Chains A and B, each alone.
Chain A
Amino acid sequence: MRWLQRHIRPEQIREFSLLLLIVAAVLIFGSMIDGYYTSRTFNRIASSVAIITVVAVGQTLVVLTRNIDLAVGSIVGCTAYFTGAQLAAHHGLPPVVAVLIAMALGCAMGAINGALVAYGRVPSIIVTLGSLAIYRGILIDYSGARTVTTDSLPKWLIDLPRLNFITIGDLDIRAMFALAVGIVVLFQIGTSFLNVARRFYAMGSNPDAAELIGMPTRQIVFSAFVLSGTLSGLAGFMFLARFGNITVEAARGMELQVVAAVVVGGVNIFGGSGTVFGAMLGAIMIAILEQSLFRLQISEFWRDAILGLLILMAVASDAVILNRLRAIWSRTELKLVTRPGTGAAP
């Protein structure tokens, strides 16, 4: 137990239990649905997870700093449409440039949010609720009620969702899923070991303390929103490739799915704890539930209700179980500190 407490943090127990839940869900659904364990089911879940995950990584950074970014759905929609319109007009645009356009646009939109929150001192929920509507409004105006259609896009983009990164037996790992996993790994390593990235946690755990020890708190918040916007821009490009037909409605409501993934994945909505890996697990859990409940022919209404229940459970368990675990952990830490000082301790 002591060894466990010294090497594992309560948050990791939380993530491990989510992993167990995912395995349990797969086993349960597998026994209820014929032909569940196929590469098709895997692909279905993997491709719906890929886009949400990329956005959820950015959202995690924002939530860590005690903020929330509700504009992500609109940013994904705007970048998907704008990049699609550019590609439709200029077929010769190199893929790298197209991705950069999407990311730059997302970055700019995130920077506006970040500047207002960090330097304007406006609560993030107000800023992003506003920009959610404003970005969508700009898109409706820019699009002139036209749709980006699949056949107006260059062939490499249409073929992208079918591109395999690697094939293991029957299992095709699609390039877009591999990209999402790559981003999670990159940010997981970054937020675990990089000094700069640990600041997101410091800022969220105790903003006053962070300020006192001289951390550039505004810069930290600003950069979280910029990263969230940039990743949403990349997700916008993936969205364009996957769905092909982009209307002004693209990705509307995605912010809810993303926040759900982040919260179910164990990122504390009050900031300071949680990981991007957890957010990915949250996204996977939700995608598995959605796909499986649909196949069980459960009505859409109940699927939404179950998703809502899951979020409530996640937040509640965060409040009750994790706080309990943290209390046990900190008591042990106190003992570890006091024991060496024989006699000196009161």
Chain B
Amino acid sequence: MKKILLATALAGIVALLAPHHAARAEATVAPGASVDMVLLPKFLGILPFDQAHQGAEEAAKELKNGKKLQYLGPTPENSVAGQIEIVTNAATQGVGAIMISNNSGDQIVPAAKAAKAKGAKVVTWDSQIPSAEGEDVFVAQVDFSETGKVMADMALHILGADGGKFAILSASPDAANQNAWIAAMKDALKDPKYSKLELQGIVYGNDQSETSYNQALAMVDKFPGMKLIMAPTSVGIVAAAKAMQDEKLCDKIKISGLGVPSEMLAYTKNGCAPEFALWSFVDLGYLSYYTAYGLATGAFKAEAGTSFKAGRMGTYTITKDPTRKAGLRVLMGPFSLYNKDNVEAAAK
């Protein structure tokens, strides 16, 4: 407690002394405090969340947090209930901050509120709480309306000016970020520029490799004339690419969406998945940690207009979240597009 107070005082002084940027002070996060922090992915066992964990550990080391970061997550089939359980337990233990990639929609709200009531800071990352209740701030990987445009652009780019039919292979119907991206893509498709693109439907693979694989194959039969599967999930996109390759359909049906370069390397090289996008999950974990640590130590408050320096990544500002009615966000960005020319370098 003493350390937190000291850190707060230090941060306050630093904030006072720091040169003013456009009337607002930029908060500096002071290292050395001991804060219990929990990083909660949607579930354990897939690469992007592992990378976010790496980034958070990197930030923890830099900030010399006396307490070890707890990386806790549920199993995929138990994701919703498991997340609520972990948040509830963390609140009971009285942790200083919880970082959630929310997979439970608004069902997590009571648990998140309880954690806040106990004094924990609740930072969401990767996937937000839709109503923003019980959440201090959301660290957004990219602007969600941009995600819709990026996906529409990739679809148009792959299918060519004549466009064609495509379908979406999503994760679970409860995933807030997936639904926001799909909604953003539907919005983007209203632009006359994409008038030749026809969305045939949405199928859910629940972020399980086998389910996604089988669903991708079934989509081929279900959606006649489909030329592209857009999978905004790193599990779905690889599974779909393998399914098309196994059925020798890569010439007719292309795969695109959000994927991890190291997993997509082979399919991008052989033309099954000519183009896909992603952001750095390592950076996302890093930035989330800085945000949560700063809030928990009182270096800055979750208010629109607050700026803070997040180590190697530079300065970020908390703003109102334009994609939700309520809520604050820190926007990370940008997107990286991968194709056969740059995927190899990124896979390393």
- Min C-beta distance of B18 to chain A, whole Å: 39
CB atoms of B263 and A294 under 8 A apart: no
Minimal Cβ-Cβ distance residue in A for B241 = A150
8 Å CB contact of B218 from A43, A162, A247, A294: A294
Q: Given A40-B221, A40-B247, A145-B50, are A245 and B242 also a contact pair (CB < 8 Å)?
A: yes
CB atoms of A249 and B75 under 8 A apart: yes
CB atoms of A248 and B44 under 8 A apart: yes
> Which of B9-17, B22-30, B105-113, B205-213 has 4 or more CB atoms under 8 Å from chain A?
B205-213
CB atoms of A44 and B222 under 8 A apart: no
**A246 CA to B45 CA, complexed, in Å:** 10
Minimal Cβ-Cβ distance residue in A for B204 = A300
B interface footprint on A211-252 (CB within 8 Å = 1, 0 otherwise)? 000000000000000000000000000000011111111111
A147 lies within 8 A of chain B by Cβ: yes
- Chain A residues with Cβ under 8 A from B263's Cβ? 147, 149-151, 245
**A48 CA to B214 CA, complexed, in Å:** 9
Tell me the residues in window 128-157 of chain A with beta carbons closer than 8 Å to chain B beta carbons: 140, 143, 145-147, 149-151
**A249 CA to B239 CA, complexed, in Å:** 14
B323 lies within 8 A of chain A by Cβ: no
CB atoms of A252 and B209 under 8 A apart: no
- Min C-beta distance of A139 to chain B, whole Å: 10
Chain A's interface size range is 20 to 34
A5 lies within 8 A of chain B by Cβ: no
Minimal Cβ-Cβ distance residue in A for B264 = A151
- Chain A residues with Cβ under 8 A from B49's Cβ? 145
8 Å CB contact of B77 from A147, A161, A249, A291: A249
CB atoms of B45 and A295 under 8 A apart: no
- Chain A residues with Cβ under 8 A from B214's Cβ? 48
- Min C-beta distance of A163 to chain B, whole Å: 11
Minimal Cβ-Cβ distance residue in A for B75 = A249
A253 lies within 8 A of chain B by Cβ: yes
Minimal Cβ-Cβ distance residue in B for A248 = B45
A-B contact pairs, 21 of them (CB 8 A): A40-B220, A40-B247, A48-B214, A140-B44, A140-B45, A146-B45, A146-B50, A147-B263, A149-B238, A150-B266, A162-B246, A242-B213, A242-B246, A243-B242, A245-B238, A246-B209, A249-B208, A249-B209, A251-B210, A252-B208, A295-B221
- Chain B residues with Cβ under 8 A from A167's Cβ? none
Minimal Cβ-Cβ distance residue in A for B76 = A249
**A146 CA to B246 CA, complexed, in Å:** 24
**A331 CA to B23 CA, complexed, in Å:** 99
A41 lies within 8 A of chain B by Cβ: yes
B142 lies within 8 A of chain A by Cβ: no
- Chain A residues with Cβ under 8 A from B75's Cβ? 140, 248-249, 252
- Chain B residues with Cβ under 8 A from A146's Cβ? 45, 47, 50
A interface footprint on B16-53 (CB within 8 Å = 1, 0 otherwise)? 00000000000000000000000000001111011000
Tell me the residues in window 303-324 of chain B with beta carbons closer than 8 Å to chain A beta carbons: none
Number of A-B residue pairs with CB-CB distance less than 8 Å in the complex they form: 91
- Chain B residues with Cβ under 8 A from A145's Cβ? 44-46, 49-50
- Chain B residues with Cβ under 8 A from A253's Cβ? 77
A297 lies within 8 A of chain B by Cβ: yes
**Secondary structure dominating the interface of B:** helix
**A34 CA to B210 CA, complexed, in Å:** 26
B248 lies within 8 A of chain A by Cβ: yes
**A250 CA to B248 CA, complexed, in Å:** 24
Minimal Cβ-Cβ distance residue in A for B243 = A243
9 closest Cβ pairs, A-B complex: A151-B266, A248-B45, A245-B209, A294-B218, A247-B45, A149-B263, A145-B44, A161-B246, A244-B242
Minimal Cβ-Cβ distance residue in A for B266 = A151
CB atoms of B45 and A243 under 8 A apart: no
- Chain B residues with Cβ under 8 A from A247's Cβ? 45-46, 76, 208-209, 235
**A178 CA to B238 CA, complexed, in Å:** 27
- Chain B residues with Cβ under 8 A from A147's Cβ? 45-47, 263
B217 lies within 8 A of chain A by Cβ: yes
B167 lies within 8 A of chain A by Cβ: no
B342 lies within 8 A of chain A by Cβ: no
Q: Given A145-B44, A146-B47, A147-B45, are A245 and B222 also a contact pair (CB < 8 Å)?
A: no
- Min C-beta distance of B265 to chain A, whole Å: 5
CB atoms of A162 and B248 under 8 A apart: yes
**A244 CA to B267 CA, complexed, in Å:** 13
- Chain B residues with Cβ under 8 A from A150's Cβ? 238, 242, 263, 266
**A151 CA to B50 CA, complexed, in Å:** 18
Tell me the residues in window 188-228 of chain B with beta carbons closer than 8 Å to chain A beta carbons: 204, 208-210, 213-214, 217-218, 220-222, 224
**A145 CA to B72 CA, complexed, in Å:** 11
B interface footprint on A259-277 (CB within 8 Å = 1, 0 otherwise)? 0000000000000000000
CB atoms of B266 and A41 under 8 A apart: no
- Chain B residues with Cβ under 8 A from A40's Cβ? 220-221, 247
- Chain B residues with Cβ under 8 A from A149's Cβ? 47, 238, 262-263
**A143 CA to B213 CA, complexed, in Å:** 21
**A33 CA to B133 CA, complexed, in Å:** 46
